[in-house]
């Protein structure tokens, strides 16, 4: 499910395939698209018009922009992610719990130019709330869930851990996997053991940790700004 104009705009821009795009306000959608995303305005003009109550029944919270869509989610190929030769890191979220957080991680990964976002655990990074939180940017890069991370990916594994060594942006390997832990408990002992290094974002005394998506943002932008 792609809910709302912002997410739909990105889904269209990054090549999503749609089964249906429904709106209860085609004129409002045209005005919004004309002012905020002229590149997709013409495409959105072909949305199917439905009654407001039909739209409201499509999701627990109908978006204020009165548009929703059903799109085909691309299937992530993990092997292709590991061997992607571009000098871009992979974001690994170990067992994340909060869909809004997952979406925010996808969004910043797309913005910073990460190679992919991979999750473990039961939460689906394509859950409608994650797509909403990610502003539909799941369509901009490979995003998927795995049962486990293989022992050998060919990429250095860097664990983001408040107890690690202080992060030096210039020493972040370009093709690293940056691993972030679950919201309450942090990274598992197994992942910490498997990591090539443990690094921390410095914090003022008394602050125990940063929010998951905030730490993903800080690390990715440290990497991006350091490479110039
Ligand atoms: C909300 S934190 C988890 C807090 C958990 N009690 C811990 O100590 O890791 C979620 C994830 O964000 C990352 N994180 C948060 N603050 C960090 C920091 N200062 N340095 C490095 N990583 C951090 C870690 O990967 C952490 O597992």
**In this predicted structure, what is the pLDDT of residue 46?**
86
Angle at 77 between CA 71 and CA 82, to 5 degrees: 135
88 & 40 share domain:
no
| Neighbouring-strand partners of residue 35 | none
Output the CA 209–ligand 1 centroid distance in Å: 5
- Ligand 1 site, CB within 6 A: 160-162, 180-181, 183, 185-187, 200-201, 203, 209-212, 215
Output the CA 211–ligand 1 centroid distance in Å: 7
Question: Pick from 48, 72, 96: which residue ends a domain?
Answer: 72
d(CA 113, CA 206): 32
| Atom number in ligand 1 closest to CA 201 | 20
53 & 125 share domain:
no
Number of domains in the chain: 2
Q: Is the CA virtual torsion 152, 157, 163, 165 positive or negative?
A: positive
156 & 56 share domain:
no
Give the CATH number for residue 181. Answer: 3.40.1280.10
Non-local (6+) Cβ contacts of 31 within 8 A are none
Output the CA 214–ligand 1 centroid distance in Å: 10
- Label the pairing between strands 177-180 and 90-93: parallel
Question: Pick from 72, 92, 108: which residue ends a domain?
Answer: 72
123 & 65 share domain:
no
d(CA 100, CA 45): 29
SS3 content of the chain, % helix, strand, coil (to 5): 35, 20, 40
68 & 82 share domain:
no
Angle at 126 between CA 125 and CA 127, to 5 degrees: 95
118 & 178 share domain:
yes
Rounded to two decimals, what is the model's pTM?
A: 0.95
Mutate to test the pocket of ligand 1, among 104, 210, 222 (most ligand atoms within 8 A of CB): 210
Question: Pick from 43, 72, 101: which residue ends a domain?
Answer: 72
Burial bucket for residue 43 (CB in 10 Å: 0-12, 13-18, 19+): middle
Structural domain harbouring 59: 2-72
Q: Which three-class secondary structure state does DSSP give residue 189?
A: helix
Query: Are 69 and 43 within 8 A, CB to CB?
Result: no
pLDDT by residue for the chain (228 residues), tens only, comes to 999 999 999 999 999 999 999 999 999 999 999 999 999 898 888 899 999 999 999 888 889 999 999 999 999 999 999 999 999 999 999 999 999 999 999 999 999 999 999 999 999 999 999 999 999 999 999 999 999 999 899 999 999 999 999 999 999 998 999 999 999 899 999 999 999 999 999 999 999 999 999 999 999 999 999 987
Closest CA to 49 of 72, 64, 30: 30
60 & 101 share domain:
no
Query: Are 77 and 142 within 8 A, CB to CB?
Result: yes
137 & 216 share domain:
yes
Mutate to test the pocket of ligand 1, among 94, 209, 214, 218 (most ligand atoms within 8 A of CB): 209
Output the CA 91–ligand 1 centroid distance in Å: 14
Non-local (6+) Cβ contacts of 164 within 8 A are 197, 198, 199, 200
119 & 188 share domain:
yes
């Amino acid at each position: 499910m792609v809910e709302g104009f912002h997410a739909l705009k990105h889904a269209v821009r990054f090549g999503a395939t749609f089964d249906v795009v429904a709106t209860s306000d085609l004129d409002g959608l045209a005005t919004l698209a004309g002012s905020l995303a002229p590149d997709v305005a013409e495409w959105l003009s072909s949305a199917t018009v439905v009654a407001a109550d039909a739209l409201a029944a499509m999701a627990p919270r109908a978006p204020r922009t009165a548009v929703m869509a059903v799109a085909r989610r691309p299937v992530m190929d993990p092997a292709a992610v590991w061997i992607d030769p571009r000098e871009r890191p992979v974001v690994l979220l170990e067992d994340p719990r909060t869909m809004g957080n997952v979406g925010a991680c996808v969004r910043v990964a797309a913005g910073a130019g990460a190679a992919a976002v991979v999750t473990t655990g039961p939460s689906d990074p394509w859950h409608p709330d994650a797509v909403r939180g990610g502003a539909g940017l799941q369509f901009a890069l490979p995003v998927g869930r795995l049962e486990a991370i293989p022992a050998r990916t060919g990429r250095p594994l860097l664990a983001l851990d408040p107890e690690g060594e202080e992060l030096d942006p210039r020493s972040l390997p370009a093709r690293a996997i940056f691993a972030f832990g679950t919201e309450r408990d942090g990274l598992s002992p197994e992942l910490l053991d498997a990591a090539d290094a443990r690094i921390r974002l410095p914090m003022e005394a008394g602050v125990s940790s940063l929010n998951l998506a905030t730490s993903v943002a800080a690390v990715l932008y440290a990497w991006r700004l350091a490479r110039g």
